[in-house]
Amino acid sequence: LNHHRGNYRQASQHVIAILRKFTNLIEQVSIDEAFVDVSLLEKTREETGRLIQAAVNENTKLPCSLGIASNKLTAKIANDYGKKRYKGMHYPNAVTVVPPGRERVFLAPLPLPYLWGVGEKTAAKLAGHGIKTIGDLAEIPLVQLSEWLGANATWLYKAAHGIDDRPVVAEEPQAKSISNETTFDHDTSDAWLLETTIESIAKGLARRLAEERLRATVIKIKIRWSDFTTLTKQTTITVTDEYSVLAQIGKILLHSVWNGSQPVRLIGLGVSGIVKRSEQLALWDEEVGKNQSLAEALFEIEERFGKAAIRFGTYRERDENDPSS
């Protein structure tokens, strides 16, 4: 794929849509990974896996690797193992199957970092006790592990034995859009009031997105003039949940439709194109993504509306007694 997050997002949504043709029991955990429960389907797990892989390859031209097992932990590790094993000159298209009851046997020879929860510090600590593989870890009594690792010990003990009771949690239907609006007591042409109202609404939208672990790809403004005529304008941007992006683009949209003097009765701001925020972003570093998202969004706005659309300012308290403020 072209290295642009919008392309990654669109490809991810396309793949999830393909998976939904097989089952709705899908738990997406990152932009390029998902757990799929196929236990209720008539075909064997491996047959279903091959069909899914073929459907993704055919419809997206993207590589697709799968790990197939009786639980999420083992399936994830099987997928990671398969990708590393079969990756050569081309992107992997591995299907790695771990039959039920063979989880511990499959995991035993693998290095510790394959396990969730084993980072560099934990691996180094366990290596100090002569533990280098998942099989080595499985031989250590839970009491001993608890002395070494504390609260993390129980999970790692079960994981080393291939035990994971967590179900595939299908995502609930998401809101198609989120918005809010303010009707003024009197029609206003006050740019400061309009902009601070947008900022206030943007803050509420960002809070709602954060609480529900959502992100949006469309930002829309709604304006009702003094004659009750209503106008809306929207733009599509790189996925975001950030207040700064929502507020800045909301103000850009305002000034793209408002002449600076026309009285406004109502102003609203909303988001749509909503997607679930990934637990991890496997295709790019999340911190870098946060730092770049506003710049990318503004670049996209500049392309649509021109450089003059982007204005930066600083907040100041308004002095009601100073007509120039």
Structural domain boundaries of the chain? 5-160, 177-309
pLDDT score, position 29: 80
> Known catalytic residues?
33
The string of pLDDT tens digits covering residues 75-87 is 999 999 998 887 6
E strand intervals along the chain: 26-30, 33-36, 66-68, 95-97, 177-188, 214-225, 230-240, 264-272, 275-276
Are the CB atoms for 201 and 59 separated by under 8 Å? no
pLDDT score, position 258: 94
- Count other Cβ atoms within 10 Å, centred on residue 247: 22
Going by C-beta distance under 8 Å and a sequence separation of 6 or more, which residues neighbour residue 17?
Answer: none
pLDDT score, position 90: 57
- Whether 140 has a pLDDT exceeding 80, the answer reads yes
Least confident residue range of 88-97, 161-170, 182-191: 88-97
pLDDT score, position 229: 85
Q: Which residue has the higher pLDDT, 180 or 294?
A: 180
CATH homologous superfamily of 177-309 equals: DNA polymerase, Y-family, little finger domain (3.30.1490.100)
pLDDT score, position 302: 53
Q: What is the mean pLDDT of the chain?
A: 83
Q: Which tokens in the block code for residue 87?
A: 């990756």
Question: Hey, what CATH class is 5-160 in?
Answer: alpha beta
Share of the chain above pLDDT 90, in %: 52
Q: Residue 113 gets which letter from DSSP?
A: G
Averaged pLDDT, 121-136: 94
- Whether 171 has a pLDDT exceeding 50, the answer reads yes
- Whether 184 has a pLDDT exceeding 60, the answer reads yes
pTM of the model: 0.56
pLDDT score, position 303: 53
pLDDT score, position 69: 96
pLDDT score, position 295: 46
Least confident residue range of 96-105, 127-136, 227-236: 227-236
Q: Please list, residue by residue across 1-24, b when 16 or more beta carbons sit within 10 angstroms of its beta carbon and e when fewer do.
A: eeeebeebbebbeebbebbeebbe
pLDDT score, position 9: 74
The string of pLDDT tens digits covering residues 27-85 is 888 778 899 999 888 888 889 899 999 999 999 999 899 999 999 999 999 999 998 88
| 3 state SS of 210 | helix
